[in-house]
Amino acid sequence: MLDNFKLDRGPYGLRSSRLILLVALLMVGGLASADLVEARRVTTQQERLTPIQREIERQRQRLSSTEVEDRRDALMRLGNLKRPEASRAAAVALNDASPTVRVAATHAVLSLPPNEAAALLIPLLKDKDEFVRREAAFAIGKSRSRAATTILADLMLHDKKPSVRGAAAVALGQTGDEAALPALSQVVTGQGSKKKKSKSLEEEFVVRAAVRSLGQIGSRASVPTLISALQDETNSIETRREAATALGLIGDPAALPALQAAFATNADPYLSEAVRAAIRQINHANTKGAGN
């Protein structure tokens, strides 16, 4: 820049050239000084952050990486911090172009308050990717928020993919919302759908998940549905065993005759043990209640 100056050797020319040179040097020095001030400001801000805040900021910056694996790893690290501020930093990745990254984000936001996490996850229940919808449903279940009960119930009944319907059924049990009982019972009884003599393994998982969720919610209103599932020989042994376990969890003595009949007539040792355990659980609960 300064090499382009041709100094006039005249008395006034030399003085002017020196003045120009001095101004140029001051300008360069001023720019360097401004950069130094900005660098000091950024450094001071970093020094004021706690170690956790610095880690969150480091991982937040990695979410801008062009590499999918870097973004996914950053989300896993943010999730492992188990801090609401880390989950808020991760929330931006729920809209990532990569399904793998969106899935990682569904689990990274779970340190937020339940309803806040659910509000962020609900849009992903309509994601075009089956994997994302499934994991979003599982994540809402882990949040224990009841804000998505209606949407999860609709997903369980109408999604085209059994894996997604099963995840929604699991989530409904984890939230413990009795508002989900009609939809869960509909899945267990097959009401509104064509009853098949045999179900695929995936469809059987959906029914079994719904049975388990009825037990987790623990309403006595579910007892007739669960007795029907226990007695239905078109259900797998695993589903009937889950029904017995659910009846034991609910603890209603009204289920005892059906459980005793199943114990007397069933030949499968695993189902018999589940029925026996349910009978003991109900009798124990009644004895304890009578003692009070």
Q: Domain of 87?
A: 51-112
Residue 43 forms part of a structural domain: no
The answer as to whether 81 is a domain residue is: yes
Q: What is the pLDDT of residue 43?
A: 56
Express each pLDDT in 106-157 by its tens digit.
999 999 999 999 999 999 999 999 999 999 999 999 999 999 999 999 999 9
Residues 192 and 251 in one domain: no
Rounded mean pLDDT, 93-116: 98
Q: Does the pLDDT value for residue 196 go beyond 60?
A: no
289 pLDDT band, cuts 50/70/90, is low
Contact (Cβ atoms closer than 8 angstroms) between residue 282 and residue 252:
yes
Same domain, 89 and 138: no
Question: Hey, what are 9's tokens?
Answer: 């050797």
> With bands split at pLDDT 50, 70 and 90, how would you rate the model's confidence at 2?
very low
CA dihedral (72, 100, 158, 247) positive or negative: negative
Whichever domain contains 259, its CATH number is 1.25.10.10
Report if residue 205 sits inside a domain: yes
Same domain (yes/no): 211, 232: no
Give how many domains the chain has, as a whole number: 3
Whether residue 168 is predicted with pLDDT greater than 80 in this model: the reply is yes
Q: What is the mean pLDDT of residues 74-101?
A: 98
Q: What is the dihedral sign for C-alpha 107, 109, 114, 115? A: negative
Average pLDDT of every residue of the chain: 88
Judge if 154 and 182 occupy the same domain. yes
Question: Is the same domain home to 157 and 232?
Answer: no
Residues 161 and 234 in one domain: no
Structure tokens at 283: 């009798």
